[in-house]
Chains A and B, each alone.
Chain A
Amino acid sequence: KNEVEQSPQNLTAQEGEFITINCSYSVGISALHWLQQHPGGGIVSLFMLSSGKKKHGRLIATINIQEKHSSLHITASHPRDSAVYICAIGEGGSEKLVFGKGTKLTVNP
């Protein structure tokens, strides 16, 4: 059974800081997903990647398949980035995802 571990569990930053959230998993995957859950509860998909790196605005996601590790970076963080960031993995050919417990990010002005 694949396990998904995220670190840190909680992260507090000052506005403008560079943020890194990590995700590791135990067995091979077909894709890795990064999701954002706002304080109001809604969940949105940020990235889906199976290799390399993707960038969207100030967010960058990378994955290292050999090391079974992914990172989510936020450049020039802003208080509106405060949310829970969730890593999830899709196992080969499976339509089901396995979720990490999330990283709660608080960005102070």
Chain B
Amino acid sequence: NAGVTQTPKFRILKIGQSMTLQCAQDMNHNYMYWYRQDPGMGLKLIYYSVGAGITDKGEVPNGYNVSRSTTEDFPLRLELAAPSQTSVYFCASSDPGTVYEQYFGPGTRLTVT
């Protein structure tokens, strides 16, 4: 199993550009999450999904959108990128049968200039 994969690993965007961060998992987990990690801060939840077709906002959803058309994939869309979105983004998945133990992807380091 590859676990949770994320692409790209690094990206530099100009202010106002848009992009999609890809996330996929091959563990058949129902639950998937997007977090951002800023220096010196804890992980903050952006959006999460409890199954295909179901998504909900987390703590910091502004400026982002998600979709979940399949169990495997959970892309995160940034529209009109701003410098405040410079961060490291982590995707994770979990299975409620394991009391929500989360498996993390390797992260995407995004810089908006």
Which A residues form the contact surface with B (CB < 8 A)?
Answer: 4, 30-31, 33, 35, 41-45, 48, 50, 86, 88, 90, 95-102
Task: Give the Cβ gap from A104 to chain B, nearest Cβ, in Å.
Answer: 10
The 19 sampled A-B contact pairs (Cβ below 8 Å) are: A4-B42, A31-B99, A42-B106, A42-B107, A45-B102, A45-B103, A48-B99, A50-B99, A86-B42, A90-B100, A95-B48, A95-B50, A96-B33, A97-B45, A97-B102, A99-B42, A99-B43, A100-B42, A102-B42
Q: Which residue of B lies closest to A99 (CB)?
A: B42
Task: Give the Cβ gap from B7 to chain A, nearest Cβ, in Å.
Answer: 15
- In whole angstroms, what is the CA distance A43 to B91 when docked? 10
> Pick the contact of A101 from B42, B106, B107 — CB < 8 Å?
B42
Q: Which residue of B lies closest to A101 (CB)?
A: B42
B101 touches A48 (CB 8 A): yes
Q: Which residue of A lies closest to B30 (CB)?
A: A95
Task: Give the Cβ gap from B51 to chain A, nearest Cβ, in Å.
Answer: 11
- In whole angstroms, what is the CA distance A48 to B48 when docked? 20
B40 touches A96 (CB 8 A): no
- In whole angstroms, what is the CA distance A31 to B102 when docked? 12
Please give, as numbers and ranges, the residues of chain B lying within 8 Å of A96 by CB-CB distance.
33, 45, 48, 58
